[in-house]
Amino acid sequence: MFPKRQRRKAREYALQLLFQWEGARPDPESLLPDFWRGIKKVDNETLRFAEELFRGTAASLVEIDPLIAAHSQHWRLERMAAVDRNLLRLAVYEMQAHPETPPAVVIDEALEIARRFSSEESVEFINGVLDALRQTLAARARS
């Protein structure tokens, strides 16, 4: 397992990739070369984790978006700030695809990234939505 700092950096890269991809939704692979050219230094493990999170999230929106919509009271996905929407998507994907990472860790990481890239109100919103989603996903896993 690689260090927490590198995992967070990978999540930040994945968020940036999702943000770039979301508008026109080109083939996800087409974004990667230019994106990594703009990054000064990245180790292979961070790059691999970032790409896996990005690809997996982009490929799973059909399942992820309805989950987020169902747990974000009074907010439609298209009305959310793009950073918040993509951070929620990323965290939901990671909770589903990486059960080895405790949901509390995924949520904490999402909140730290939100503090860096979004607003304090967004941090509270993201925390509420992800906590509700965590409970739903845990209930599904038990049944």
Contact at 8 Å (CB) between 116 and 87? no
Percent of the chain with pLDDT over 70: 99
DSSP class of 92: H
- The answer to whether the pTM exceeds 0.75 is yes
Tokens found for residue 65: 């978006």
Find the CATH number of the domain harbouring 116.
1.10.940.10
> Based on the number of CB atoms within 10 Å of its own CB, is 116 exposed (0-12), middle (13-18) or buried (19 or more)?
exposed
What is the extent of the structural domain holding 109? Answer: 4-142
Structural domain count of the chain: 1
Q: Where are the beta strands (DSSP E) in the chain?
A: none
Give just the sign of the alpha carbon dihedral 62, 98, 50, 9.
Answer: positive
Q: Assess whether pLDDT exceeds 70 at residue 1.
A: no
